[in-house]
Amino acid sequence: MRALTIVTVLPELLGSNGDAANARVLAQRARWAGFDASIVEVRAAADLPDQIDLVVVGSGSDTSLITVRDILATMTEQLRTWCTAGIPILAVGTGWELLSWGIELGDGTVVEGLGIVAGRAVPLPERATDDIVVDSKFGRLVGFENHARGYTGAEASPLGKVRSGTGNGAVAAGTGVEGLVMGNLFGTHLHGPVLARNPALADHLLATAVTRAGGEYVPGERAASVDAIAKAGRDQLAARLGLPSE
């Protein structure tokens, strides 16, 4: 099978909280599974490679929202094409918000998004800065959330149900949801980076990409020890929050 190409978009501007490192997680797990994988750092539309198998859009600061939005806007057609084609896309934090209809800021102004996914980011009563635990079809997901906005109006499925934390909005404990899944596009508030702490989600993205490229993905033996460490971290967090282990 041909080598996988993993695109990370604006890694300097969208690399807060280690989010750009999700591309490195995908590349390493692909190599452990026996596939060649390269990471292409895209800072402008001209940098986009001809062949793309996975895309990572990380999170950045509000001070660079307009700058990032304007750069991403030059790639809107490509992003829409990737979504339609089923290329796996992971969008975290403000990267996800900028793919939406728009971002409502605390002062009432609105930053127009690219309109690729339904919904919009809206201010939370208080900034969410804490650990988050989510139940999903990929098993338990954990991360650290650090965001001033929730998410509303999504017409897609959530990534999972919040067991502890804020996720997409401040609602009654145990009833909230986190993230968005639209086809093979995954939006989330989870930092950590999310794929290092939750390898099952990374493997789902990789399996999708490898299948599209004509192969079959099976996690490599070297992934087992890393996965055990990640699971221990999730169980430790769950115990601290009074939740059962996986």
What mean pLDDT do residues 164-191 have?
Answer: 87
Q: Is residue 67 part of a domain?
A: yes
Q: Indicate the length of the chain as a whole number.
A: 246
Task: Quote the tokens at residue 216.
Answer: 């079959």
Q: Is residue 233 part of a domain?
A: no
Q: Is residue 230 part of a domain?
A: no
Give the rounded percent of residues in the chain with a pLDDT score beyond 90: 92
The CATH number linked to 99 is 3.40.50.880
Task: Quote the tokens at residue 89.
Answer: 């896309």
Task: Quote the tokens at residue 223.
Answer: 């992934």
Q: What is the pLDDT of residue 154?
A: 82
Number of domains in the chain: 1
pLDDT in tens, 179-190: 999 999 999 999
Q: What is the DSSP string of 186-223?
A: EEE--BTTHHHH-HHHHHHHHHHHHHHTT------THH
Q: Which domain holds residue 193?
A: 4-126+149-160+179-219
Q: How many CA atoms lie within 13 A of 50 on its CB side?
A: 1
Give the whole-angstrom CA distance, residue 147 versus residue 195. 18
Q: Is residue 38 part of a domain?
A: yes
Distance in angstroms between the alpha carbons of the first and the last residue of the chain: 35
Alpha-carbon distances of 163 from 15, 93, 135, 234, rounded to whole Å = 27, 19, 7, 13
Work out the pLDDT band at 147, boundaries 50, 70, 90: very high
Q: Is residue 48 part of a domain?
A: yes
**pTM for this prediction:** 0.96
Q: What is the pLDDT of residue 2?
A: 82
- Neighbour tally for 1: CB within 10 Å: 12
Give the whole-angstrom CA distance, residue 22 versus residue 30. 12
Contact 71, 57 (CB under 8 A): no
Torsion sign across C-alpha atoms 6, 67, 193, 120: negative
DSSP code at position 3: P
Q: Is residue 101 part of a domain?
A: yes
Strands 54-57 vs 89-92: parallel, antiparallel or unpaired = parallel
Q: What is the dihedral of CA 90, 88, 43, 20, to 10 degrees?
A: 40
